[in-house]
Structure 1
Amino acid sequence: MILILSKPGDRDTDLVIEWLNFFKTPVLRINDEELMQGITSFSHDSNFIENS
């Protein structure tokens, strides 16, 4: 899983995500404004191991 932090409407990020989707790479995009305003939140468990 790839986490991308970006700004809303960032076309370069859109292109990177399109490329990752083409290769079926799991990706999560979080926009900085939504994160700072509390609209979006996330947590990470550093003990979690994903089987590939």
Structure 2
Amino acid sequence: MLMEQQRRQDEELARLREAEKKAASADEALSQLERLRAETGSLKERA
């Protein structure tokens, strides 16, 4: 019984770690998008 509970906790921890990696990737993509938008905006101002 205790081993089953430990196994479930390990699986949940693995899911949480995977979700954290995806969130970090999404955050990085958002940062890149914001930088591109800023660059595009400054290019439009120069034109």
Name which one, 1 or 2, has greater alpha-carbon Rg: 2
Normalization by structure 1: what TM-score? 0.29
TM-score (norm 2): 0.32
Q: Which has the higher strand share?
A: 1
